[in-house]
């Protein structure tokens, strides 16, 4: 008896559906939805009373709701959640940089008219003519530029070596359980949170005890700034030194190189870019300080390049006094204040560019 098995017909091919790629929204759907939300909320608020803050806030809320609904319907809940979270992160980033952009734009817009060669190259002040009894007001920032560079440079010369050597001690020599290392770390943390006016009071009191009353000088202000700079340099350099791989140190020790030579020739050159960045952050942190310099060095319209004798003028103090103590021409004093603020921003930018160039020049060849 022969049994014939019927041949089965092949099943139709069913391609596997990839749920991760189906139902894609357009590439720039976020911009389209945002534009629509701005238009809709702008029209609605025009009917009930328009306000810039309410328009932006309600447009963001409508944008998030609409984007989440569209992505859930056209794609899936996972992609909808991803789009909403990514939008929230982008909004938070824009909110974070908005004050910075607004500040830079305001300073540039109001200070660019005052920024010229005469303002930079001449010292400002008032001149009295006894013959005509006329008082001539000269707008200039030369004394403030020189004072800023001298005071900040002196503070950097005192703070950078102390900060780098302290960081080297904490990373290369000290053990975390030693009382000395724990004490230094604690003091650095405390100094990081010291208000700037306290540093100014400390410097003023110290030099008053040493020199006498009214001991205003650029060096006193530099001491106050160094109190603020040292903990920042220590913290930033310490983190950069810890990022240097231990394999480099062990390889150097295996070749018989001393610890001191390893630090000088291996560790510091490897971390030089980060160290310079930390130093520049510290300088940028103190170059715009007003309270400690105002208390320790006071201010003056006379040109003074001697940091050990007499008051000195700086750009942040010039900007402050231009508004707080304006001269007879209030508009000219305010313009000088904005010009000083813009000059201060430009100096910080130039110093950062120089630091980048130096860091790239001294970085190890493999990292250039």
Q: What is the pLDDT of residue 232?
A: 92
Q: Please tell me the distance from the alpha carbon of residue 356 to that of residue 362, in angstroms, as a whole number.
A: 10
Q: Please tell me the distance from the alpha carbon of residue 333 to that of residue 322, in angstroms, as a whole number.
A: 5
Q: Please tell me the distance from the alpha carbon of residue 330 to that of residue 279, in angstroms, as a whole number.
A: 38
Q: Please tell me the distance from the alpha carbon of residue 59 to that of residue 286, in angstroms, as a whole number.
A: 39
Two structure tokens written together for 364: 């190890």
228 within 8 A of 283, measured Cβ to Cβ: no
Alpha helical stretches, state H, 112-141: 117-121
Q: What is the pLDDT of residue 130?
A: 56
CA atoms within 13 A on the CB side of 95: 10
Q: Please tell me the distance from the alpha carbon of residue 76 to that of residue 297, in angstroms, as a whole number.
A: 64
Supply angle C-alpha 258, 259, 262, rounded to 5: 85
Two structure tokens written together for 147: 């004072």
Helix axes 272-287, 142-168, angle to 10 degrees: 140
The torsion defined by the Cα of 119, 120, 121 and 125, in degrees rounded to 10, comes to 50
Largest pairwise CA distance in the chain = 142
DSSP state for residue 257 in the 8-state scheme: -
Two structure tokens written together for 96: 């974070």
Q: Please tell me the distance from the alpha carbon of residue 300 to that of residue 314, in angstroms, as a whole number.
A: 9
Count of CB atoms within 10 A of residue 331's CB? 8
Residue with tokens 């060669």: 117
120 within 8 A of 139, measured Cβ to Cβ: no
Helix (H) / strand (E) element for 136: namely strand 134-141
CATH (one of 3.30.420.40, 1.10.3720.10, 3.40.190.10, 3.40.50.2300) for 121-367 = 1.10.3720.10
Q: Please tell me the distance from the alpha carbon of residue 273 to that of residue 348, in angstroms, as a whole number.
A: 18
Mean pLDDT by 10 residues, the chain (368 residues): 47 46 76 89 82 85 89 88 91 90 90 84 64 61 89 94 93 85 88 88 89 85 93 92 90 90 90 88 88 87 85 89 77 85 90 83 64
With DSSP H G I counted as helix, E B as strand and the rest as coil, what are the percentages for the chain, rounded to 5?
70, 5, 25
Q: Nearest Cα to 155, choosing from 221, 216, 199?
A: 221
Count of CB atoms within 10 A of residue 250's CB? 11
Q: Please tell me the distance from the alpha carbon of residue 310 to that of residue 243, in angstroms, as a whole number.
A: 44
Q: Please tell me the distance from the alpha carbon of residue 171 to that of residue 101, in angstroms, as a whole number.
A: 38
Q: Residues of CATH 1.10.3720.10 domain(s) within the chain?
A: 121-367
Q: Cα 72 from chain centroid?
A: 40
């Amino acid at each position: 008896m022969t049994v014939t098995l019927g041949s089965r017909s092949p099943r139709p091919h069913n391609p596997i559906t990839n749920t991760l790629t189906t139902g894609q929204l357009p590439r720039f759907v976020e911009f389209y939805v945002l534009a629509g939300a701005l238009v809709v909320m702008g029209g609605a608020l025009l009917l009930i009373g328009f306000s810039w803050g309410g328009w932006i806030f309600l447009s963001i809320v409508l944008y998030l709701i609409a984007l989440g609904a569209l992505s859930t319907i056209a794609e899936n809940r996972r992609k909808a959640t991803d789009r909403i979270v990514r939008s929230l992160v982008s909004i938070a980033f824009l909110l974070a940089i908005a004050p910075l952009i607004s500040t830079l734009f305001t300073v540039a817009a109001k200070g660019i008219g005052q920024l010229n060669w005469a303002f930079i190259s001449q010292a400002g002040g008032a001149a009295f003519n006894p013959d005509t009894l006329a008082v001539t007001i000269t707008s200039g920032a030369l004394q403030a530029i020189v004072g800023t560079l001298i005071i900040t440079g002196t503070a950097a010369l005192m703070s950078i070596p102390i900060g780098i050597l302290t960081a080297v001690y904490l990373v290369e020599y000290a053990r975390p359980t030693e009382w000395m290392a724990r004490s230094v770390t604690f003091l650095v943390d405390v100094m990081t949170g010291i208000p700037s006016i306290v540093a100014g009071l400390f410097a003023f009191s110290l030099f008053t005890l040493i020199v006498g009353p009214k001991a205003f000088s650029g060096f006193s202000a530099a001491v106050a700034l160094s109190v603020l700079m040292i903990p920042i340099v220590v913290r930033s350099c310490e983190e950069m030194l810890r990022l240097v791989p231990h394999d480099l140190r062990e390889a150097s020790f295996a070749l018989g190189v001393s610890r001191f030579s390893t630090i000088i020739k291996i560790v510091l050159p490897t971390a030089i870019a980060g160290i310079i960045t930390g130093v520049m952050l510290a300088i940028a942190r103190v170059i715009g300080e007003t309270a400690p310099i105002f208390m320790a060095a006071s201010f003056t319209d006379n040109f003074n390049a001697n940091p050990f004798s007499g008051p000195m003028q700086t750009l942040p103090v010039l900007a402050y006094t231009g508004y707080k103590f304006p001269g007879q021409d209030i508009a000219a004093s305010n313009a000088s204040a904005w010009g000083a603020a813009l000059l201060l921003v430009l100096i910080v930018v130039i110093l950062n560019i120089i630091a980048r160039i130096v860091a790239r020049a001294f970085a190890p060849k493999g990292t250039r």
